[in-house]
Amino acid sequence: FAELLGLRFWEDGWPCLRCLLLTAALFLGPLCQHFWACCLGDGRLLQLQPTIWMNLRNLVAAPITEEFVFRACLMRIWFGAGIPVGPTLILSPLCFSLAHAHHFLEHMRKRGSRQAALIEIGFQVFYTSLFGIFSNFLLWRTGSLPAAIVAHSFCNHQGFPDLSFFVRQGHMLYNYRNYVSALYLFGIFVFGSSLMPLTAGFTSSFRPET
């Protein structure tokens, strides 16, 4: 039963490491950007939330519960209903992304504008859908729920990249924007070229043909 939900603790270490490396490759640009900013005296190398409870929520509780419900359980239900792989991987993350729509009220209080809150929540739904597709793919390819959880935790820690360095002249990295942008593109290239190799070679209960 546990393996049907992607839990194989005796052999999850390797897929966790490979999925973490794959996700880090996607964030190569933001990682280098942050390190560069730290070298210039802006911020700490390891940035966490102000309280331990916020860190536990963002890095432990949310990844575990969301991956279990929206990945392992939901994908198993969709596959059990006979829905093909493509629609399951691409469309089921909408359930995950819409679960973040309640942040609209928080954005309303923060922005004071319904239009700004709608734009922000729309963008949040969009990029959480993209992440959901990626996480679905990891679970489908590796059969490892902990691997998807590790990738989710890493993404939560990173957050959405700060791209203001590219357009805001007062930004400390504005003069280095071409180099940082090149690192972003290189990271995307490494991610794309490593996506299949780093997720290959695993037995997945979500792919019965393997």
The catalytic site residues sit at: 66, 100
Question: Which residue matches tokens 């490759």?
Answer: 25
Strand ranges in 101-165 using DSSP code E only, listed in sequence order: none
9 exposure class (CB count in 10 Å sphere: 0-12, 13-18, 19+)? exposed
CA distance 28 to 102: 31
Helices (H), 68-113: 74-80, 85-91, 93-98, 103-111
CA distance 183 to 166: 13
CA distance 20 to 5: 20
CA distance 141 to 199: 6
CA distance 14 to 143: 12
Residue 22 identity (one-letter amino acid): L
Question: Which residue matches tokens 């590219």?
Answer: 166
